[in-house]
Amino acid sequence: MALDPSARESNLRDSIKKYFVDSIATAEGVPVTFDKVLNAPLIQDKEAEKWVSIAFGPVNIETMSDVILEIYCCTRRDNEGYKLSQLRDKVMGYLVDDTMPDGKARIDFYQSSYSGVWTSLGKMLVWDILPSGDMIAADETKYKVLTVILKVAMKI
């Protein structure tokens, strides 16, 4: 028996990737990587000085499911962490929505398709954002981690 499209982790991942590539990478011009954490992406054979890396955490599949993401905002050559604060603010701008009564962003949830049109399955709600403080890696990458909890209705 096949899983309902709303209960497929692959659709969640594809929808989340689409959202962050469309918003952070395309709209803001900041490279986005997935599951690479602190590894700087190469852009024209040069390491990026700022980027966002998204790591997928557990997916708890229930009628109202939880999805956990760790969003790493990373900078290099950032003496006082100012670029890091600016990057964190850009990312937060896509996780909140002041036009909604609860201030929480909604992320489109799709049934993805490699060869056809993506079908809307509903929305994922940014339920909570747990920020870290400033951290510094051994290679002097400065970073902050935003642990994001999403809620999404699934048919199980």
Q: Specify the pLDDT at position 1.
A: 63
Q: Specify the pLDDT at position 121.
A: 95
Kind and range of the H or E element at 85?
helix 82-93
What are the φ/ψ torsions at residue 83 (nearest 5 degrees)?
Answer: -65, -35
The one-digit pLDDT tens for each residue of the chain (156 residues) are 688 889 889 999 999 999 999 999 999 999 999 988 888 888 778 889 999 999 999 999 889 999 999 999 999 999 899 999 999 999 999 999 999 999 999 999 999 988 889 999 999 999 999 999 999 999 999 999 999 999 999 988
Q: Strands (DSSP E) along 18-141, which ranges?
A: 32-34, 42-43, 46-47, 50-60, 64-75, 106-111, 119-131, 135-136
And the tokens for 64? 């109202």
Q: Which domains does the chain have, with CATH numbers?
A: 5-28+48-153 (3.30.2000.20)
